[in-house]
Structure 1
Amino acid sequence: MSLDLSKIFKAYDIRAVVPDEMNEQIAGSIGNAFARFVGAPRIAVGRDMRVSSPELCAAFVAGAVRAGAHVLDAGLVSTDALYFASGVFDVPAAMFTASHNPPRYNGIKMCREKAAPIGEESGLADIRRLAEEGPQIERDGGGIEKIDVLADYAEHCRRMVDRSSLQPLRVAIDAGNGMAGKTVPIVFDPLPFEVLPLYFELDGTFPNHLANPIEPENLVALQKVIRQNGCDVGVAFDGDADRCFLVDETGALITGSTTTAMVAERLLLKNPGATVLYNLICSWSVREVIAENGGAPVRTRVGHSFIKERMAETGAIFGGEHSGHYYFRDNFRADSGIIAALLVLEGLSQFDGPLSEMLAPYERYASSGEINSVVSDQHGAIERLRRRYADGREDTLDGLTVEYEDWWFNCRPSNTEPLLRLNLEARNKESMKQKRDEVLSVIRE
């Protein structure tokens, strides 16, 4: 009997409620399909700390072995470390994680050799078709080999910064009971920082808060620790530790755009004239900082598969997203929240003052943040916006972007829900609020 996996295969990965939408049988079928699709003699597989991950991952591995693949089993590992394994072993890889989603979810992130992306248009649709068609193919030659990449990955991360310049900063780190609780100690232990750990115990039920640092309520404990202990900076990771957000010494959240600008400047100091990518939701300040530091700014669509592809095309040294994903050429073009955090800590070590002062040159505009609106007719709402703002500079690289001299907005549809996502920026807070409310009124007519 064929499967219908349309609900769980998304634009960039697989996400599902367990066991309603994904169980061991389905995981096994996807593992078999993945091995057949990539056609490689070896693949790497890892998993996060979610309650359902061991059984689902084991079923996936069994399906891949049945297809004749030799599986390098990385066990409990962060997504960025598994991407590293894909790079150093030159193998496709699959990571069981649902990132920041609630405990009942799980999912699979996949890549080709050297951490090259697999998205809907570059393989996910084919893997889905193979898994749905069944039955599983059986071939000889499969097997399982345990690997441990964390020590090598930790040293790789540390090589991205000048260790001699690092100062004994006091750093609060919230792992959110996610995989950063395993990866961060191995990376940070040899460094001079004083780390104040929050929720480093691996627990896929997320007993303290969801591992989703983009939501303010999940930063409250970190902000409290920073203020009470006089920390220089705070770092919050998502569930699989490939994404991070920073908090300054006052407890204020640092946006993904600001972190992108700071990291871009660090890397351009070391690589003059390099190309840097930023997605179209990022602040105007990102483009400006890249240009001011002699770099070549390139604007991209939102999403890791698009950014990785553009990095390969342009030879870009770095790419940043407003959502806390940061991609590095010297990390197989894969994202790593830990490398981004280390580069900011390197910059702060060399700066004569607190982080809030270091941020000032990058925070030039007022942003709305991402605002979701439920709409039944996404296309109709975007057409209303196009007509209303026809006098602005328009592009449709990803949704609709309209730009004026003093403000801009982007409105794009969700891939999975009847939502439109609005991001808007203006030169001051008053103008931002006025334009935000005006655009939202058009969207919600």
Structure 2
Amino acid sequence: MKNFEPITISCFKAYDVRGELDVNLDADIAYRIGRAFGQILASQNNTPNPTIVVGSDIRPTSHTLKTAAAEGITDAGVNVIDLGMTGTEEVYFATSHFGAIGGLEVTASHNPINYNGMKLVRENSRPISADTGLGEIRALAESGQFASAAKGQITQNTDKAAYIDKLMSFVDTAKFTAKKIVVNSGNGSAGPVVDELEKRLANLPIELIKVHHEPDGTFPNGIPNPMIIANQKSTQQAVIAHKADFGVAFDGDFDRCFLFDEKGDFIEGSYIVGMLAEAFLGKHEGASIVYDPRVIYNTENVIKTFGGTPQISKSGHSFIKQVMRETGGIYGGEMSAHHYFKDFFYCDSGMIPWLLVIELLSTTGKTLSELVDGYIAAFPSSGELNFRLGAMSADEICRTLEAKFGTLNPAKNTLDGLSLDFGQWRFNLRSSNTEPLIRLNIESKGDKALLQEKTDEILAILHDCGAVAADH
């Protein structure tokens, strides 16, 4: 048996593994993570012939890291089903579909080209985070104290049919009316899935206009991150040029989708959460809807208006999924464009939302702007504003803001960062769990002038605290 020296592995984050290539993430580290992942999950399950599914996005290094991780998993005595090139949600699906004890997706999503990472789940597609097992996996991977085991087997399965069946089960295609949709895959992993969905829609009056469609890990049109304003232009221009009904753009592993209305206008994620919440409550009276605390006014109003049960959760997929499981939430949404579905193993999907939008536009006869413009007018928001820290820490900045606004006696919430609600407006400031940033969101109740006034005021305070605006 090969001996492993103890090492330090610094690429473990709150929800996943993410590191800079050949700095704190390489094939050797991927092997150790796979070996620890397989050993720990196998020890926690009595499943005969345990299996873990693996997939990887389109980045040139992803296949190499996946191969190394799979080698580690099989050396831990666990079989591997290699799904090939996938998005993260395909691993979520396959983990439950195949009754696997876990799943591993190699992806850096929207991070720069010199980064990569892994997203891990256990049986039933349950998330693994710093609080639910990542620490244990890290400790074993660092120690190198791996148990001996009979080597597992690797099989290939790149058939997407069952996954596509699952996606299509969320909509009634008999209700679809003629629609033209721009789909921007960002040269990421979404393209092959879009092609498979297009085949299922072939006998329907649905036309897909594909932009940056071919998977290309060099990302010739830029890293697929539709949150960056410059990256939104290609989708917007295509919507306008083709007179499309709406546009959708994906990040690299397509666990998030971003929507554009028929005018090419980008729609902030919180309004999509409200729209989908309304749609689900129309089908499931009184159901629980889970949402994050960054932007809440519109979502809470929709849930109240349509008789749902509001369930607020800390931001982040592991927290949202846990609250959904605890409350039986039918749908969960984050303003960051993550959308979670009870019937998709409580996992997030970037493909299900735009299919639901086709059905929603078809059944209501409304345009996408007509569905969301009322929300936007009633509860205008700043959109997420991102900052790099200067001399002051995030906690120090939060204390500064509390001191500044404390005399106004706002309602305070610290579920996720600092939220102060003044009745007619509120803000949330929190540290990113994935990047060295602080993120600010401000919203008001129907008062754009007040929103602008308070945005300017808080931006000035952040500037004085040394925070510097970032792109995303």
For Structure 1 versus Structure 2, the TM-score category normalised by the shorter chain is over 0.9
Matched residue, 1:126: 136
Equivalent-residue separation in structure 2 for 1:77 and 1:249 (angstroms) = 29
Equivalent-residue separation in structure 2 for 1:59 and 1:142 (angstroms) = 14
Matched residue, 2:72: 63
1:419 paired with 2:437, answer yes
Give the C-alpha shift of residue 136 in structure 1.
3.9
Q: Which among 335, 343, 351 is matched to residue 330 of structure 1?
A: 343
Q: 1:212 to 1:353 in 2, by over 3 A?
A: same
For the 8 Å contact 1:48–1:240, the answer to whether it is kept is: yes
Equivalent-residue separation in structure 1 for 2:315 and 2:439 (angstroms) = 12
Mapping 1:329-348, distance limit 5 Å:
329-348=342-361
Matched residue, 2:452: 433
Q: Map Cα deviations across residues 29-66 of structure 1 (whole Å, 9 max, x no partner).
A: 01001111212521111111110011111010001110
Give the C-alpha shift of residue 358 in structure 1.
2.2
Q: Which among 282, 288, 291 is matched to residue 301 of structure 2?
A: 288
Q: Which among 4, 8, 31 is matched to residue 8 of structure 2?
A: 4
What secondary structure sits across from 1:245 in the alignment? strand
Q: Map Cα deviations across residues 295-324 of structure 1 (whole Å, 9 max, x no partner).
A: 111111110000000011000001000000
Mapping 1:121-160, distance limit 5 Å:
121-160=131-170
Q: Map Cα deviations across residues 159-194 of structure 1 (whole Å, 9 max, x no partner).
A: 101111011200000000011111111123222210
Equivalent-residue separation in structure 2 for 1:269 and 1:418 (angstroms) = 40
Give the C-alpha shift of residue 372 in structure 1.
2.4
1:50 paired with 2:63, answer no
Matched residue, 2:461: 442
Give the C-alpha shift of residue 335 in structure 1.
0.4
Give the superposed CA RMSD. 1.4
Equivalent-residue separation in structure 1 for 2:212 and 2:112 (angstroms) = 16
Mapping 1:362-373, distance limit 5 Å:
362-363=375-376, 364-373=378-387
Matched residue, 1:405: 423
**Structure 1: which 5+ residue stretches go unaligned?**
none
Matched residue, 1:205: 218
What secondary structure sits across from 1:235 in the alignment? strand
Counterpart of 2:34 in structure 1: which amino acid? G
Equivalent-residue separation in structure 2 for 1:24 and 1:429 (angstroms) = 51
Equivalent-residue separation in structure 2 for 1:342 and 1:362 (angstroms) = 21
Q: Which among 390, 394, 401 is matched to residue 378 of structure 1?
A: 394
For the 8 Å contact 1:155–1:187, the answer to whether it is kept is: no
What secondary structure sits across from 1:337 in the alignment? coil
Counterpart of 2:443 in structure 1: which amino acid? E
Total equivalences in the alignment: 444
Equivalent-residue separation in structure 2 for 1:413 and 1:440 (angstroms) = 16
Q: 1:291 to 1:434 in 2, by over 3 A?
A: same
Mapping 1:182-201, distance limit 5 Å:
182-191=192-201, 192=204, 193-201=206-214
Equivalent-residue separation in structure 2 for 1:357 and 1:310 (angstroms) = 31
Q: Which among 178, 181, 191 is matched to residue 188 of structure 2?
A: 178
For the 8 Å contact 2:290–2:312, the answer to whether it is kept is: yes
Give the C-alpha shift of residue 421 in structure 1.
1.7
Counterpart of 1:434 in structure 2: which amino acid? E
Percent sequence identity is: 40
Q: 1:434 to 1:299 in 2, by over 3 A?
A: same
For the 8 Å contact 2:268–2:383, the answer to whether it is kept is: no
Matched residue, 2:109: 99
Matched residue, 1:269: 282
Give the C-alpha shift of residue 75 in structure 1.
1.0
1:81 paired with 2:90, answer yes
Equivalent-residue separation in structure 2 for 1:343 and 1:415 (angstroms) = 29
With structure 1 as the length reference, what TM-score do the two structures score? 0.97
Q: List 4+ stretches of structure 1 deviating above 6 A.
A: none
Give the C-alpha shift of residue 440 in structure 1.
2.7
Q: Which among 18, 21, 24 is matched to residue 21 of structure 1?
A: 24
Counterpart of 1:313 in structure 2: which amino acid? E
Q: Map Cα deviations across residues 348-402 of structure 1 (whole Å, 9 max, x no partner).
A: 1122232212222322222112222323322221111122222100011011110
Equivalent-residue separation in structure 2 for 1:161 and 1:10 (angstroms) = 35
What secondary structure sits across from 2:279 in the alignment? helix
Equivalent-residue separation in structure 1 for 2:164 and 2:241 (angstroms) = 29
Moved more, 178-187 or 57-66: 178-187
Counterpart of 1:407 in structure 2: which amino acid? W
For the 8 Å contact 1:86–1:115, the answer to whether it is kept is: yes
**Structure 2: which 5+ residue stretches go unaligned?**
466-472
Equivalent-residue separation in structure 2 for 1:285 and 1:325 (angstroms) = 17
Equivalent-residue separation in structure 2 for 1:321 and 1:236 (angstroms) = 16
Counterpart of 1:367 in structure 2: which amino acid? S
Mapping 1:292-331, distance limit 5 Å:
292-331=305-344
Equivalent-residue separation in structure 2 for 1:395 and 1:83 (angstroms) = 32
With structure 2 as the length reference, what TM-score do the two structures score? 0.91
Q: 1:263 to 1:417 in 2, by over 3 A?
A: closer
